[in-house]
């Protein structure tokens, strides 16, 4: 039924609107092929540790917060290029999510600092978080400082919303995503297509030898989850990895643009989020708002949603965060 609805939407598409880009066309082709071939394959279960790492801070040794559930204002699933941004942001008119992410990759390549930390060192990060309780409007600010062991062999200090704890080293044969250690990050491809296929190979053996067109919606959903976690939770990466992750994120079907979003400093930017094609229409999933400068495409920060409590006592917070500074240090709790 969902495929039929989308075909009707395509039939009624306004020819006066901007044309569909390559990613949307590929998504439509994939759905048509699936409809012809027969019922879709069952959804693969994601690795449990992945969800925990992103939502509970297990792997958040360099950042805090959870990923946010978002939707369009009217709840519909439209591609960003089919709806121009508001006139108050002329610089973003007719700009797609792919354009923004390619721009972010170019900015990162030009401005990234190359580092080669020793295995016995720590990566220090300082993050500023401002969150507002949606019901009362009360805003609180937090400063989270983290020290992550470079090779993962030492315990690290992790903070989330002003609270800290010791994160023990990983046990033998234990892995989490995103990787905690520099050595594993160094092994990730810095070519966006190869990075995508490398991530897909974790779910479908042999994906490294396939093309992007062979990936299913379920594959893409898991790949997006991995890329979002990598970009959100690892602010210091080997040279070339962050630009590759931005470009790879732009290749994911369902990635979309949301204009006129404020960051923690009150600056108006353009946000990138995700519409998961594996979910029923109108249902949202955990994702993140990545906010960029609308002119330079410099990354400004995140917009998240956090909840606490249960039932009538549940509180919902809008959370804005950004990386204030980072450094390589010799000891945990040592500040630069």
Write the pLDDT tens digit of every residue in 33-70.
444 444 444 334 344 333 333 433 333 333 333 333 33
Contacts of 127 (CB under 8 A, 6+ apart): 63, 64, 143, 144, 145, 146, 321, 322, 323, 324
In a domain, 132, yes or no: yes
Please tell me the distance from the alpha carbon of residue 76 to that of residue 121, in angstroms, as a whole number. 48
In a domain, 334, yes or no: no
In a domain, 335, yes or no: no
In a domain, 336, yes or no: no
Residues 225-243 have a mean pLDDT of 94
Helix (H, G, I), strand (E, B), or coil: what is residue 325?
strand
Total number of domains constituting the chain: 1
Helix (H) or strand (E) holding 131: strand 122-133
Q: What is the pLDDT of residue 334?
A: 97
Indicate the pTM of the whole model. 0.72
Closest by CA to 224, choosing from 272, 283, 294, 280, is 272
Q: What is the pLDDT of residue 206?
A: 62
Q: What is the pLDDT of residue 202?
A: 78
In a domain, 74, yes or no: yes
DSSP conformation letters of 67-99: -EE---TT-----GGGSPPPTT-GGGTT--HHH
**Beta partners for residue 302, in sequence order:** 290, 321
- 205 band by pLDDT with thresholds 50, 70 and 90: low
pLDDT over threshold 70, residue 234: yes
Q: Print the domain residue range for 212.
A: 2-329
**Beta partners for residue 274, in sequence order:** 255
Q: What is the pLDDT of residue 53?
A: 37
In a domain, 53, yes or no: yes
pLDDT over threshold 50, residue 296: yes
pLDDT over threshold 80, residue 124: yes
pLDDT over threshold 80, residue 317: yes
């Amino acid at each position: 039924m969902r495929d039929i609805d989308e075909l009707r939407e395509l039939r009624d598409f306004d020819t006066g609107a901007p044309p569909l880009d390559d990613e949307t066309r590929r998504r439509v082709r994939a759905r048509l092929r699936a409809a012809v071939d027969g019922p879709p394959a069952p959804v693969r279960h994601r690795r449990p540790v992945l969800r925990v790492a992103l939502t509970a801070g297990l792997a958040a040794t360099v950042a805090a917060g959870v990923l946010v559930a978002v939707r369009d204002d009217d709840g519909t699933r439209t591609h960003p290029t089919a709806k121009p941004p508001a006139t108050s942001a002329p610089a973003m008119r007719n700009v797609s999510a792919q354009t923004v992410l390619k721009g972010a990759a170019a900015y990162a390549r030009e401005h990234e600092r190359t580092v080669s930390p020793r295995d016995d060192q720590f990566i220090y990060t300082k993050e500023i978080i401002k969150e507002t309780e949606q019901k009362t409007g009360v805003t609180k600010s937090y400063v989270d400082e983290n020290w992550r062991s470079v090779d993962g062999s030492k315990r690290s200090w992790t903070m989330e919303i002003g609270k800290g704890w010791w994160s023990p080293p990983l046990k033998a044969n234990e892995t989490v995503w995103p990787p905690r250690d520099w050595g594993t990050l160094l092994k990730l491809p810095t070519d966006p297509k190869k990075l995508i296929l490398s991530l897909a190979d974790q779910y479908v053996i042999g994906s490294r030898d396939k093309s992007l067109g062979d990936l299913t919606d379920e594959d893409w959903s898991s790949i997006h989850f991995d890329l979002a976690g990598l970009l959100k939770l690892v602010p210091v990466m080997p040279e070339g990895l962050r630009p590759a992750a931005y470009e790879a994120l732009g290749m994911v079907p369902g990635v979309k643009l949301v204009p006129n979003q404020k960051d923690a400093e009150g600056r108006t930017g353009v946000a990138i989020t995700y519409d998961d094609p594996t979910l029923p229409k109108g249902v949202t999933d955990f994702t993140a708002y990545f906010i960029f400068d609308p002119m330079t495409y410099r990354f400004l920060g995140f917009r998240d949603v956090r909840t606490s409590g249960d039932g009538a006592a549940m509180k919902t917070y809008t959370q804005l965060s950004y990386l204030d500074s980072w450094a390589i240090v010799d000891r945990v709790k040592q500040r630069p």
